[in-house]
Structure 1
Amino acid sequence: MKNLVLTLVLAFSTLFSFAQDEGITITVTIDNVTNDKGKVLMSLHTSETFMKGKGIKDAETSIEDGKVTITFENVLPGEYAILALHDQNDNKRMDFDDNGMPQESFGMSNNVMVMGPPQYEDAKFKVANEDLDLNIRF
């Protein structure tokens, strides 16, 4: 009896420890990058981090034939937005003209065309219980 209880406790603790590491996978593809110079940077944001610096998950990748794919793993259910930047000169930030216009291509989830800074409400999407495939356009 003692062994049975110990076995059940071990089984349940193992089950719950694996469940904490699991989440949803979000795969993001951009297939219209203007050239293969530099890298594409992407950040997964909540409303608290959007346009305020690093995301809750950040990634970067090189570009091949104008296309990139980045995967965010173990994303918990909730509401998020993704920002993407074609960092052509690989300086890890967006560059601007003197008049404030961006010099490098950027995009966000939901592919909203913006005049002015991106807004979280325009870019947000829900993560539930299924993996997501998203396409962002520059």
Structure 2
Amino acid sequence: MRALALLAAGTATLAASPAAADEVVITVTGLRSAEGTVRACMTTQEDIFPKCIKDPASHRTVVKAGETVTIRFTDVKPGNYAIALLHDENDNGKADRALGMMPKEGYGFSRDAPVRMAPPKFRDAVFEHKAGRQDLAIRMRYFL
């Protein structure tokens, strides 16, 4: 009887343990080389997107480039987010440009938001994150 009570108490402890952290997992495809890094940021702030480095609460990371790259943001609270990616091929920490405005390096945005004469608006890249794990795919694009 005591063993059964201990087993029941252990099961109750397992059931009461906190759930796994909420996360957003991004698979990045279409990189033209494995050179450099992929810089990623995810923000809820519409007014600063895609420069979410200005958001102290944003999720940011830098990972080594490869044929396919996986980026994982953990402890993500539910909300509306947009993601911006940069394939920083020379790993100099900035988006290099040709003729002052055309991007020389790859870029990508959540929902594969279109790029016209400027980066997409937050509303074009926004997605809702609820509780649990969310998997997204973003295709890297190159202008030159």
Question: Offset of 1:105 from its aligned partner?
Answer: 0.7
Corresponding residue to 2:38 among 37, 40, 44: 40
Corresponding residue to 1:135 among 131, 134, 137: 137
**1:97 partner letter:** A
Question: Offset of 1:113 from its aligned partner?
Answer: 2.0
Question: Deviations along 1:101-124, whole A, 9 cap, x unmatched?
Answer: 000010000002210222100000
The CA RMSD measured in Å over matched residues stands at: 2.0
Gaps of 5+ in 1: 1-14
Q: Does the 8 A contact of 1:80 with 1:126 survive in 2?
A: yes
Question: Offset of 1:131 from its aligned partner?
Answer: 1.1
Aligned pairs, number: 120
Q: Which residue of 2 aligns with 1:86?
A: 87
Gaps of 5+ in 2: 1-15
> Residues of 1 paired with 2:31 and 2:119: CA distance?
20
Using the size of structure 1 for normalisation, the TM-score is 0.79
Question: Offset of 1:60 from its aligned partner?
Answer: 1.0
Q: Does the 8 A contact of 2:38 with 2:88 survive in 1?
A: yes
Q: How does 1:36-75 map to 2 (within 5 A)?
A: 36-46=34-44, 47-54=46-53, 55=55, 56-64=58-66, 66-75=67-76
Q: Which residue of 2 aligns with 1:102?
A: 103
> Residues of 2 paired with 1:51 and 1:31: CA distance?
19
Q: Does the 8 A contact of 1:24 with 1:127 survive in 2?
A: no
Question: Deviations along 1:6-25, whole A, 9 cap, x unmatched?
Answer: xxxxxxxxx8xx68xx6421
Structure 1 ranges of 4+ moved more than 6 A: none
